[in-house]
Structure 1
Amino acid sequence: MAAAPPHVLLFPAPLLGHVSPMLKLAKVLSLRGLLVTFLTTEHVHRRLGADEGLNCHPGFSFRSIPDGLPADHPRSGGQFMEVITSLAAQSPERYRDLLVSHHGQWPVTCAIVDWVMPFTAVGKRLEIPVIAFRTGGPCSFWTYLCTPRLIEAGEIPFPVGYDMDELVRSVPGMEGFLRRRDLPSFCRVKESSDPILQAIASATQRTTHYRGLIFNTGETLDAAELAHIMSTCPVTYTVGPLDTILCALDRSTGSAAGPPSSSSPGWWREDRTCMPWLDAQSPKSVVYVSFGSLTVLSRPQLLEFWHGLANCGHRFLWVIRPDLLEEMDGAGDIPVELAEATKEKGCLVEWVDQREVLGHPAVGAFLTHSGWNSTIEAISAGVPMICWPFFFDQMVNSRFISEVWRIGVDMKDTCDRATVGRMVNEVMEGERADEMRRNVAGLSEMMRECVDEGGSSRIHLDQLIEDIRAMSLETSPAETA
């Protein structure tokens, strides 16, 4: 029997911020000649819509499985851990069947799985190599890896009468700037036995047993944190920004695999009416506002942001997706002064192609939830940030943006109109505005060098593909039958 060609199965967590970068990696691997199967839940598969034409792309296929939740489950915001738990409860045989039976196609010889997904034991049982994809950044992942140290040192749970601005000492390399406030949100628990804290700690430790670990970043951006991570996970690949690499591969191959630039493949309908509006604005005069795909606001929070933007003196483009508000009745009546101010200098849309907007010359700042995808996209575009993190790794990312890379400001745990307006003005026109723009421009150039031919991301991508090909020789059809 002929040797099986390398066939990679990719399995992201069923959330846009996880699906998007892993779909980009899947496209890159397909364009580089590997067979690829992209596994999602049935809910995500429906939201991907037409699959961007990839079902017709040679060597690329989609598969889906039920997530075990009722159809009306929101699968967003604070409920997303329920999705992961439900998937973990699925029968191991279901995953086994996906790995060993592909209806006449070549069997899977390597799996790349989201680090939070319940896949490790099945892959190990079938002797199929498993590589983890960490969809967040190295800076947050290192704090996740240090969770046992934080617990052992008594730094989490926080002691009685704690000061949120006190520095933590149990994350090596971050002792001089990381505060309790900046730890991942799952650290804000009352007991070390908290189930979410324990689940995250357990999933993070499992990552150390995979055959490798992938980050969507450039090596030079996160060199210090990567050095710490590689002491525990020595086989680590930095292959980002993936959208930039994908654009380059599409141009070089003339691929028809679909537009690579979108940050939200089929998730919501992108509203392009904002582009002519942006075209009419002066360079660097617009604040772009988006809180990603999971953040939810209360109506008072929405109004504080809205007043702050209306009063700050700058034009703004704000993405208000359909499920942004906690309340089911939407924004309700909007105060007259806000409606008038928005008519004069604002533009509201439900969803946009974020990379395209950030790359527009009219955009001067990004008010963001500090998700890793948004952070990397802003850095690549050279746009400084105003950070209002919502949960998990976003708390760490925003601290790095403000205090390490010095490319923005951090307003975590605060939501009032005066602070919003002050911080927007600080980034747009304050004393440090030019410094932040210079810093982010420097990082943008650094990221471009990483993805250029001979850059670290291209080298790591080549190594990843070479290692996948080598792993495929370890797994024959006979062994997985």
Structure 2
Amino acid sequence: MDQQNNTLEPHVLMFPIPFQGPVNCFLKLAELLCLSGIHVTFLNTEHIHRPLLRHTQVLSRFSRYPNFKFETIPDGVEHETPVPRDRFMEVMAGVDAVTKPLFREMMVSGRFSWKSERPVTVMIPDAYFSFAVDVAIEASIPVICFETISPCCLWTSYLNLPTLIEAGDVPFEGSDLDQLITSVPGTKYIIRKRDLFSSFRTYDGSNSDIDLIAKEARTILVAQGLILNTFEELDNVVLPHMRKLCPNIYTIGPLHSLHKTKLMANKNPPRQETTYSNSVWKEDKNCMLWLDKHDPKTVIYVSIGSLATMTVEQLLEIWYGVVNSGKPFLWVRRPGSITGGYDESRVPIELLERTKEIGCIVEWAPQEDVLAHRAIGGFLTHSGWNSTMESIVEGVPMVCWPHHADQQMNSRFVGKVWKIGVDMKDTCDRLLVEKAVRNIMDSKHNAITQSTNTWASLAKESITEIGSSSIHLGRLIDDILAMTMSSTLM
């Protein structure tokens, strides 16, 4: 290393995959690192950075930190709005073709390399970006992966993929989706075939999803550490087993709550508010006024997140089920989330009329604030990990209708392990939707509420000054400083 770099300051490069959920998590962690005095460069691909700037005050918010800066990198994606899940691989193909070579040059010989005035001393990429970890290793930069999916899915479907394949559990064919998977340590009587990735259900001789999952799992194992958005008690079924493969795990969740707590505790500069939008969609905050008109625990909140889609037929089944439950509802319908040529003029008039009486439909909402509102009594969700964690913190029971990725496993743990909701995967029938909503709001409300209150209390304990997540955040910060010092001594 050059003599000019023998007194390095810690400088972390954060690199999320270009989608709403991961960017949101990475930004919260970035601010926590900034509060500790660490220099942070936040690298977004251009596709996701444009709507982030358009719909948030993120630039002015982070301007209070002289040790933070945004950087962007081309990705070849021309869309001006974020894409849905079915175009995920289109975005990733752009990253692979355009971003990857530029990133390597940036880190190996460019402005963030050891040859630069302020080199990156630690890299924190999304584990999906295996190429970023490869580059970090090539450039001798310590790397800590951040996984924004759930630990229960990461353990069962990623780190145990070789085990599943060897046992003949993956890939599989056949109609018995309720067959228990017994090959994964810690979850022998928990997961079924239907709780694994839907892409595991058929096999035609090649499966790109399986290849990608295997690659991501291998990436995690070569990093110096792994950051997870969970707390110790919540994932105590899998964390002891995960640590046998990944000894250095930082559990810093619920990240959004830890973020709020640290902002409130920070006096320089003082904070007027601690909930900030990292949304790449424009939030309609008028829905909060609508919620103010309702009694506590009476409203069902409906949202399938920032990537999932539904067909017109599925929309109508869920819509009828929610309306027929008789519960007031706030429904987020993201632009582009309904496929198949939705036309409101073809919606039955009685459905529209009843919706006017008891419903509120918006394109996007400030979800953390919505779930924290006293009027919310239940959440019909796609079971994304951020949504699940936000619901757990607020003690809100869930009706789970998972769509992709870790959502299949999350919904199973919600219903079977944590007992804080109803798993409704692989079904979309108005009668079942109505029954599930009534279960969490009425007939099974007391039993489920006991569990939700317990988990909400444990979540809050984890982010106290002596809580496990606060301790792990402190350890992460200390390790970043130590990794920088080790690099200085090279």
Q: Hey, what does 2:7 align to over in structure 1? A: 3
> Which of 390, 399, 406 in structure 2 is aligned with 1:377?
390
What is the TM-score normalised by the length of structure 2? 0.92
RMSD: 2.0
Q: Hey, what does 1:13 align to over in structure 2? A: 17
> Which of 110, 124, 138 in structure 1 is aligned with 2:122?
110
Alpha-carbon distance, 1:331 to partner? 4.5
Deviations 1:308-364 (A, max 9, x none): 111111111100111111135555532211111111111111111111111111110
What is the distance in 2 between the residues matched to 1:260 and 1:22? 16
**Counterparts in 2 of 1:67-216, with a 5 A limit?**
67-71=75-79, 75-90=83-98, 93-99=101-107, 100-102=110-112, 106-117=118-129, 118-143=131-156, 144-159=158-173, 161-191=174-204, 193-216=206-229
Alpha-carbon distance, 1:259 to partner? 5.8
Deviations 1:234-271 (A, max 9, x none): 00000111211211222222447896534x51411111
What is the distance in 2 between the residues matched to 1:196 and 1:183? 12
Q: Hey, what does 1:438 align to over in structure 2? A: 450
Judge which range, 166-175 or 325-334, deviates more.
Answer: 325-334
With over 3 angstroms needed to count, the CA separation of the structure-2 counterparts of 1:357 and 1:87, relative to structure 1, is same
Letter in structure 2 aligned against 1:19:
V
3-state secondary structure, aligned to 2:346: coil
What is the distance in 2 between the residues matched to 1:252 and 1:203? 36
3-state secondary structure, aligned to 1:323: coil
What is the distance in 1 between the residues matched to 2:298 and 2:341? 33
With over 3 angstroms needed to count, the CA separation of the structure-2 counterparts of 1:331 and 1:140, relative to structure 1, is farther
Alpha-carbon distance, 1:295 to partner? 0.7
Q: Hey, what does 2:275 align to over in structure 1? A: 261
Alpha-carbon distance, 1:473 to partner? 1.8
Deviations 1:406-454 (A, max 9, x none): 0000110100111110100011001x21111110110010011100001
Alpha-carbon distance, 1:224 to partner? 2.1
Judge which range, 177-186 or 77-86, deviates more.
Answer: 77-86
What is the distance in 1 between the residues matched to 2:380 and 2:389? 14
Alpha-carbon distance, 1:189 to partner? 3.1
Letter in structure 1 aligned against 2:169:
E
* 2:48 pairs with 1:40: no
Letter in structure 2 aligned against 1:15:
F
What is the distance in 1 between the residues matched to 2:281 and 2:344? 19
Letter in structure 2 aligned against 1:145:
L
What is the distance in 2 between the residues matched to 1:138 and 1:128? 25
**Counterparts in 2 of 1:387-402, with a 5 A limit?**
387-402=400-415
Q: Hey, what does 1:319 align to over in structure 2? A: 332
Q: Hey, what does 1:277 align to over in structure 2? A: 290
> Which of 59, 66, 72 in structure 1 is aligned with 2:74?
66
Structure 2 unpaired stretches of 5+? none
What is the TM-score normalised by the length of structure 1? 0.94
Alpha-carbon distance, 1:57 to partner? 2.5
Letter in structure 1 aligned against 2:448:
M
What is the distance in 2 between the residues matched to 1:266 and 1:259? 17
3-state secondary structure, aligned to 1:475: helix
Letter in structure 2 aligned against 1:101:
R
3-state secondary structure, aligned to 1:231: helix
Letter in structure 1 aligned against 2:245:
T
Deviations 1:282-307 (A, max 9, x none): 11110001110011011111111111
What is the distance in 2 between the residues matched to 1:471 and 1:14? 27
Alpha-carbon distance, 1:203 to partner? 1.2
Deviations 1:42-82 (A, max 9, x none): 11111111434224521100111111234479632122123
* 2:481 pairs with 1:469: yes
Given that 1:131 and 1:212 are in contact with CA atoms closer than 8 Å, whether structure 2 keeps it comes out as: yes
Letter in structure 1 aligned against 2:222:
H
Given that 1:139 and 1:225 are in contact with CA atoms closer than 8 Å, whether structure 2 keeps it comes out as: yes
Q: Hey, what does 2:307 align to over in structure 1? A: 294
Alpha-carbon distance, 1:142 to partner? 0.4
Given that 1:12 and 1:39 are in contact with CA atoms closer than 8 Å, whether structure 2 keeps it comes out as: yes
